[in-house]
């Protein structure tokens, strides 16, 4: 707990002064006590009032005074609260294998449709960014609340070669760092210490891929960077098992590994054809999710993918907020004063 006006703590000197004054008053009263002719009357009166009842109201008054003084210091505390205003980075695989038609019309279009629905269904306070990755990763839309910008960014994705899962995680972390000064940018092999167990940043990464890492840093090195910052990575493995369906990228495939604009095609009639594709590396995706505190999801159809996006636990994101808690001490002080007055009137009635 921190205090904005810590100098107000000097007022605590009133506590021992009040104790001294209370003791002085008690002794002064003894000097002028009425002398009873019969000591038996004094003993009988004292028997009805214990020392605890006699001094309890004053003790409660001291506690109330202490609480009110602490309220004057304007104490603040960091509290962990659930947040639906997290920054969410969608890292979408746009490698050539996403042109596979095992999921109609192809994996990329199905992923775009699911991501678009996800963006449009999120709470309006949630910031979402889009990272696209193939042989490298690029932030195609910085985190924003503007749903139209996000939908356009998703619609304009085009396939390219290779799959850099590690690069996608690192670029996603850097995108978060650009809008949250508490999150340091990535630096592989850095000495950044992980957050305590169970603590997370109010940001998550949702990574969708249909392949395995074959370019850039390893996913595990990138996951360690996310762990050090408390950023959870939810991974989605997309596509059917042992797929033999042809690929159809239309005229959008680019031999130059660019993410936008029509390319040269594949030369297989409208960009279709088979070709070599690596199988989904579910083991790595599960380990990345486990390392960072996220979850791995498998989707083998467009409907399953949409369900995955709908059920992502973004509502579990928590954030630390610094808040002033002087109202708590004021309320406690007032309560103690009222209790002290009540007990004093009940145990030591005036009449």
Q: What is the pLDDT of residues 38-70, one digit of tens each?
A: 555 555 555 555 677 778 888 888 998 898 888
What is the CATH architecture of 84-316?
Answer: 3-Layer(aba) Sandwich (3.40)
Query: Is residue 207 a contact partner of residue 226, using CB atoms and an 8 Å limit?
Result: no
181-190 CB contacts, 8 Å cutoff, 24+ apart: 183/229, 183/231, 184/229, 186/222, 186/225, 187/225, 188/217, 188/221, 188/225, 190/225, 190/228
In this model, does residue 273 exceed pLDDT 50? Answer: no
Predicted pLDDT of residue 112: 93
In this model, does residue 236 exceed pLDDT 90? Answer: yes
Residue bearing tokens 């294998």? 97
- pTM over cut 0.85: no
pLDDT digits (tens, 9 = 90+) for 9-28: 888 888 889 888 888 887 77
Q: What are the boundaries of each domain within the chain?
A: 2-79+323-347, 84-316
User: Can you tell me the mean pLDDT for 253-279?
Assistant: 42
Using pLDDT thresholds of 50, 70 and 90, give the confidence band for residue 246.
confident
In this model, does residue 267 exceed pLDDT 80? Answer: no
pLDDT digits (tens, 9 = 90+) for 205-230: 999 998 888 888 999 999 999 998 88
Q: Counting Cβ atoms within 10 Å, is residue 180 exposed (0-12), middle (13-18) or buried (19+)?
A: middle
Predicted pLDDT of residue 97: 85
Q: Which of 111-120, 197-206, 215-224, 228-237 is the least confident region?
A: 197-206
Between 248 and 104, residue with greater pLDDT: 104
In this model, does residue 292 exceed pLDDT 60? Answer: yes
Radius of gyration of the chain (CA): 33
Nearest to 158 by CA among 295, 58, 261: 261
Query: Is residue 173 a contact partner of residue 185, using CB atoms and an 8 Å limit?
Result: yes
User: Nearest 5°: CA angle at 54, between 52 and 56?
Assistant: 60
pLDDT digits (tens, 9 = 90+) for 144-195: 999 999 999 999 988 888 899 999 999 999 999 998 888 888 875 566 666 6
Beta bridge partners, 238, equal 299
């Amino acid at each position: 707990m921190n205090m904005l006006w810590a100098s107000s703590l000097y007022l605590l000197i009133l506590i021992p002064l009040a104790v001294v004054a209370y003791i002085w008053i008690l002794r002064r009263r003894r000097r002028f006590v009425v002398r009873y002719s019969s000591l038996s009357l004094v003993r009988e009166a004292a028997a009805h009032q214990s020392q605890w009842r006699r001094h309890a109201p004053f003790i409660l008054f001291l506690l109330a005074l202490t609480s009110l003084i602490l309220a004057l210091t304007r104490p603040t505390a960091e509290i962990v609260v659930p947040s639906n205003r997290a920054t969410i980075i969608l890292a979408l695989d746009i490698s050539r294998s996403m042109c596979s038609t095992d999921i109609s019309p192809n994996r990329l279009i199905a992923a775009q449709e699911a991501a678009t629905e996800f963006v449009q269904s999120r709470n309006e306070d949630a910031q979402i960014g889009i990272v696209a990755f193939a042989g490298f990763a690029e932030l195609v839309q910085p985190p924003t609340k503007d749903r139209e910008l996000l939908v356009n960014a998703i619609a304009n994705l085009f396939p390219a070669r290779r799959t850099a899962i590690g690069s996608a995680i690192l670029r996603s972390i850097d995108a978060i760092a650009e809008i949250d000064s508490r999150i340091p940018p990535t630096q592989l092999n850095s000495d950044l210490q992980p957050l305590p167990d169970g603590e997370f940043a109010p940001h998550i990464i949702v990574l969708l891929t249909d392949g395995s890492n074959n370019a850039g840093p390893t996913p595990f090195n990138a996951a360690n960077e996310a762990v050090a910052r408390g950023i959870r990575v939810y991974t989605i493995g997309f596509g059917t098992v042992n797929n033999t369906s042809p690929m159809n990228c239309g005229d959008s495939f680019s031999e130059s590994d660019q993410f936008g604009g029509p390319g040269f095609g594949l030369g297989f009639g409208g960009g279709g054809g088979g070709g070599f594709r690596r199988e989904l590396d579910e083991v790595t995706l599960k380990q990345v999710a486990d390392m960072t505190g996220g979850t791995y999801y498998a989707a083998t159809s467009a409907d399953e993918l949409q369900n995955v996006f709908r059920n992502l636990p973004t509502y579990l994101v928590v954030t630390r907020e610094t808040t002033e808690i002087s109202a708590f001490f004021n309320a406690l002080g007032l309560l103690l004063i009222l209790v002290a007055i009540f007990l004093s009137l009940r145990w030591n009635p005036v009449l």
